[in-house]
A and B are shown apart, each in its own frame.
Chain A
Amino acid sequence: MIEGAIWRRWVFSNLPLILFVVVLLFPFYWMIITTFRPDGELYRPWNAANNMPFWTNKPTLEHIYYLFEETNFARWMFNTMLIAAASTLISLFCGVLAGYALARLNFPWAGSLGTLIFITYLVPQTLLFIPLAEIIRDFRLGDTPWSLILTYPTFLIPFCTWLMMGYFKAIPKELEECARIDGASRLKAMIYIIIPVAVPGILSSGIIAFTLSWNEFIYALVFLSSPDQKTVAVGVTSELIRGDVFFWGSLMAGALLGSIPVAIVYSFFVEHYVSGLTGSVKG
């Protein structure tokens, strides 16, 4: 029986998990190995006798040097950081207030308004960038960080609003009623009681919003044109793919370095993040 149990655990739990981890982490591994592989190995035919696709014996930093010396990578990182942080802050501020209003204030049409906000989130960006491009041009914001800081919230605010609405709804309303009997106005009850309790929810929507704007591609591609205004996602792909020439080493180096800040943000808040998504309010 015990042997049977071990066998079963391996087949139904351990092996699928291992497979899953490998599938998830392999692209990351490929990114790392390509970053440090010299060009000579990178462009070696796959059937060459000395081809070692999964390992290199001569790691090199030349691709990273190239990235920083020959392209505006540092500048792209700064742009991306600035744009992601600013649009996340704007979206969080609006999302928290709107989510609270939709969850707690009993105004007419609150329910349908909530649904409407959600529907705007469903409009595909691949369509929305066309009218938005027109607006950006009319306001003369093209090729400035503002073009993204102001357009990212169009999909981030609905997202944050919905996440926060759900989180606020999970907070017992007696907490707030008690605060209001205790002498707090609605605003003070929100600031001193509801928002501190909702911190895990705010953090998780903040992280997701930050990641979404960090990874955003289409708007950045359309609204920014000069090399020193670009974000990492657009900069790397437009400057390191020239015609049909792919600078694989530097491309992967850019992708690797570009994903580090997001990884750091995640690892920092991972505990809050999980409790935010599972919506637990500890009484």
Chain B
Amino acid sequence: MAEVTVRKLNKMFDTTHVVKDVDLEIRDKEFVVFVGPSGCGKTTTLRMIAGLEAVTSGEILIDDTVVNEVPPMDRDIAMVFQNYALYPHMSVAGNMAFGLKMRKFAKDEIDKRIKRAAGILGIDELLHRKPRQLSGGQRQRVALGRAIVRDPKVFLFDEPLSNLDAKLRVQMRVELKKLHERLAVTSIYVTHDQVEAMTLGDRVVVMKDGWVQQVGEPLELYNTPANRFVAGFIGSPAMNFADVNVVDRGGTMWIENPGMNVRVPDHLQARMKPHAGKPATLGVRPEDLHIATDADPADLTFTGEIEVLEQLGSEILLDMRAGNSSVVASVEPTLRARVHDKIKLGMNPARMHFFDAATEAAI
């Protein structure tokens, strides 16, 4: 059982600064997901925690011990790699036993652990096969099994599902979640897929360009993104953004742009005040837009023209043009509309987000 703490962690590759001042406290038994676009430093951070990359500056602690100089073998961690990294010349059982043999476990203890892990993962039948005789999903299970038998303090996952096809990925995602509940081991998981991050993580760390953008529970990131990047990265389809100007109309804050003239919701009025006369970004998620009815106050609606209509069955995605910005709205599947129809959309005032145009931070 272990906590992992990262303090002011930095990594330079020659002159490239890839991880910048990362601060993080991962609690015991927590499942933390690092997510971000490629090159954001998430994998490098994970590899530093694993001990595969040297730390340029800062500290990594596992259970209050600074492990910066501890070699990977002594950190008591297990890692699952994107390409599985199964030892091709060993059988499945051999792969799982290797870590235990290196640690000089007794033979019957090794057998017991392999049996248990194979049982958990449903790979009892495969123990005598070589990795090349396994399918992608089976290899993934063996890689997991190799981590489980070690009974480590921390599990590290480096994009473990990226090499699987879409269907298998969803299935393994569920299994990983179950596995974590069952084993309750501190886990750090790296992915570029925000759906994986949202579904798996107890907490999610969003990274970009080496900086941590926001750390929080999945819904916290979804509901109150700290900045425009997090807002756009979390959620699918992505949040709509529109460049607007904030104007003060007799003490009430409004936002306007060529296609839109909307009153700032009451709970945001005070916070918007200092931004009067300045540009800002409005963010609204597709699912927070709806077809406006008479009940919608006029100052929370705008009109757009449908450009593309995507029927998904459970919902319809409308790609629309409103003024100079394009907007995606997710609406009820019962809507009867055609391309080029003009439609009035209403926004949910409680779920509007505003971002400073210059700093991109949430207002």
Q: Using a CB–CB distance below 8 Å, which chain A residues touch chain B?
A: 172, 174-175, 177-185, 188, 192-193, 196-197, 199, 281-283
| B87–A179 touching, CB < 8 Å | yes
| B99–A197 touching, CB < 8 Å | no
Tell me whether A180 and B88 are in contact in the complex, defined as CB-CB below 8 angstroms, given that A174-B81, A283-B83, A283-B132 are known contacts. Answer: no
Tell me whether A283 and B84 are in contact in the complex, defined as CB-CB below 8 angstroms, given that A182-B102, A184-B102 are known contacts. Answer: yes
Q: Which residues of B contact A174 (CB under 8 A)?
A: 81-83, 85
Bound-complex Cα distance A283 to B87 (A): 8
Bound-complex Cα distance A180 to B81 (A): 13
Flag whether B204 is at the interface (Cβ < 8 A). no
Q: Can you offer 20 A-B residue contacts whose CB atoms are under 8 A?
A: A174-B81, A175-B87, A177-B72, A178-B79, A178-B81, A178-B146, A179-B98, A179-B102, A181-B50, A181-B72, A181-B75, A181-B79, A181-B99, A182-B99, A183-B102, A193-B87, A197-B89, A283-B84, A283-B86, A283-B139
Bound-complex Cα distance A180 to B156 (A): 14
Residue of B nearest to A174 (CB): B85
Bound-complex Cα distance A195 to B84 (A): 19
Flag whether B131 is at the interface (Cβ < 8 A). yes
Q: Which residues of B contact A199 (CB under 8 A)?
A: 89
B181 to chain A, nearest CB (A): 24
A214 to chain B, nearest CB (A): 30
| B73–A181 touching, CB < 8 Å | yes
Q: Which residues of A contact B85 (CB under 8 A)?
A: 172, 174-175, 177-178
Tell me whether A182 and B150 are in contact in the complex, defined as CB-CB below 8 angstroms, given that A174-B83, A177-B52 are known contacts. Answer: yes
Q: Which residues of B contact A281 (CB under 8 A)?
A: 88
Tell me whether A185 and B73 are in contact in the complex, defined as CB-CB below 8 angstroms, given that A174-B83, A178-B79 are known contacts. Answer: yes
| B98–A182 touching, CB < 8 Å | yes
| A183–B87 touching, CB < 8 Å | no
Bound-complex Cα distance A179 to B82 (A): 15
| A182–B146 touching, CB < 8 Å | yes
| A180–B83 touching, CB < 8 Å | no
Q: Which residues of A contact B72 (CB under 8 A)?
A: 177, 180-181
Flag whether B103 is at the interface (Cβ < 8 A). yes
B286 to chain A, nearest CB (A): 38
Given contacts A181-B72, A181-B73, 5 further A-B contacts (CB under 8 A): A181-B75, A182-B73, A184-B73, A282-B88, A283-B139
B68 to chain A, nearest CB (A): 16
Flag whether B39 is at the interface (Cβ < 8 A). no
Bound-complex Cα distance A192 to B50 (A): 21
Residue of A nearest to B52 (CB): A177
Tell me whether A183 and B99 are in contact in the complex, defined as CB-CB below 8 angstroms, given that A174-B81, A174-B83, A178-B79 are known contacts. Answer: yes
| B99–A180 touching, CB < 8 Å | no
B312 to chain A, nearest CB (A): 37
Residue of A nearest to B73 (CB): A183
| B50–A283 touching, CB < 8 Å | no
B89 to chain A, nearest CB (A): 5
Max chain B CB contacts within 10 Å: which of A179, A181, A281, A282? A181
